[in-house]
Amino acid sequence: MNGTTLIQEPMAIFVYLIAIVGIVFMLSTVDNKFLGKLFRYLPPMIWMYFLPMISTTLGIIPQSSDLYSFLSTYFLPAGLLLLMISTNVPATFKLGSKAVLVFLAGTVGVVIGGPIAFALFQGVLPEEAWRGVGALAGSWIGGTANMGAMIDAFQTPDYILSPVILTDTLVGISWMGVMIALSNYQNKFNSWNKADNSTIKRVNEDIATDVERNAKPLQLPQLFGILAIGLAGSYLIRLFAGMDFIPKTDIMSTSTWTFILITAVGIILSFTKVRNLEYYGASKIGYLGIYLFLTGIGAQANLVDIVQAPQFILMGVVWLAIHIICIFTAARLLKAPLFFVAVGSQGNIGGTSSAPIVASVFQPALAPVGLLMGILGNIVGTYAALLCGKLAQMIVGG
């Protein structure tokens, strides 16, 4: 397929993707009534997925490239590390336990939703589709790192994996878009749900005020310091995670260890003077890595493939619906604000890549809360996904 695309060379693809990011963000800042409404309901993050996906469908860029794995291996961890060192941990912990409980309700929804949806569509799915259920469960409880572990654990064949990735991309991204759109209605939801949103607002304002009060113009020393910590730091952490004395299993892979260690190192550094780099815009540079990673994910899906896997898409929709029912039920019982629903759901379905983004749309200063939910998904997701896959296997009598 690569030979039929207009752009093939990795650097050219990189330039194309970064141009998409730049143009979208520039348009989102234009003082125009139409563009203002457009980006209010379809924020820039949505376009980061769909414009590359459309580009792949039209044959402009390839569906597979070494660049995409490079972005996920190096740019994503670097971006996450910069977000973590910017975290105001004491303020974040003031949010309480409701956020974790809502997240776990979403996890339960994924674990039980997979086997139920698989049972409903088993008659029109391939024989080994249950292996794909395990792989998709890995992605939907923590993200792509967990999916990789589940692909190995369940030995998911390529002919099953391809529609699973498409389902993950289309259904997962669509839900992310819905959650972002719902951010405009969080006050109405919280009022209906009798949810106390005061703590979230107070923490958000405290963190935002701290950064605004201490903001400094970016200078070359700080810029290179930010790049060194993000790129060199995440690279060294990944090297360390891959060493032989670090125990590896199908569950605890090098990627899983990398995200766990990045979280630990980032939190530790956030208590040191390194956190002062946030006053120079460390998290904004971190988002650059995450947004470029998102464009790479979108580029790996081709809309033409939908006609080849409608049953997988439908299974994914039913599966997601069960997750949604579980997480909103928990929010109702706990009287939790919509912000907790958003970060809890994306901590499952989106993982470390999209949960911080959705969190930042709801509360701009609380992106690290989304990241922490994504990391929690990484930790519990592999085990929960194993359970989900095994339940699906039991349905076929395997």
For the stretch 202-213, pLDDT in tens is 776 776 677 778
Retrieve residue 314's tokens: 């439908």
pLDDT band, residue 264 (cuts 50/70/90): confident
pLDDT of amino acid 151? 78
pLDDT at 350 (0 to 100): 76
Instruction: Name 19's Cβ contacts closer than 8 Å, sequence gap at least 6.
Output: none
d(CA 312, CA 165): 10
Q: How far apart are CA 353 and CA 370, in angstroms?
A: 9
Helix pair angle (158-182, 310-334), 10° resolution: 40
Q: Is the confidence at residue 105, as pLDDT, over 90?
A: yes
Q: Where are the alpha helices (DSSP H) in the chain?
A: 10-28, 33-41, 44-57, 66-70, 76-85, 89-92, 98-121, 129-140, 144-154, 158-182, 186-192, 198-214, 220-227, 233-241, 254-270, 282-299, 310-334, 338-349, 355-362, 367-395
| Domain ranges within the chain, ordered by starting residue | 2-395
pLDDT band at 144 (very low <50, low <70, confident <90, very high): low
Of residues 358 and 250, which shows the higher confidence score? 358
d(CA 142, CA 314): 22
User: What length is written for the chain?
Assistant: 398
- Does the pLDDT value for residue 3 go beyond 70? no
> Token pair 């569906």 is at which residue?
63
Of all residues in the chain, the percent with pLDDT exceeding 90 is: 25
Amino acid identity for residue 360 in this structure: S
Reduced to 3 states (helix: H, G, I; strand: E, B; else coil), residue 343 is helix
pLDDT at 169 over 60: yes
pLDDT at residue number 41: 66
pLDDT score for 250 = 56
Highest mean pLDDT among 76-90, 95-109, 173-187, 322-336: 322-336
Residue-level pLDDT at 83: 81
pLDDT at position 237 is 92
Determine the pLDDT at residue 1.
46
How far apart, in whole angstroms, are the C-alpha atoms of residue 172 and residue 41?
17
**Among candidates 347, 144, 374, 102, which has minimal Cα distance to 263?**
374
Structure-block tokens of residue 99:
């956020």
Token pair for 255: 């990627």
Per residue in 336-395, pLDDT (tens digit) is 989 889 988 988 887 766 777 788 778 766 676 776 777 777 767 778 888 998 899 898
Q: Is the pLDDT score of 185 beyond 70?
A: yes
pLDDT band for position 167 (50/70/90)? confident
d(CA 149, CA 334): 33
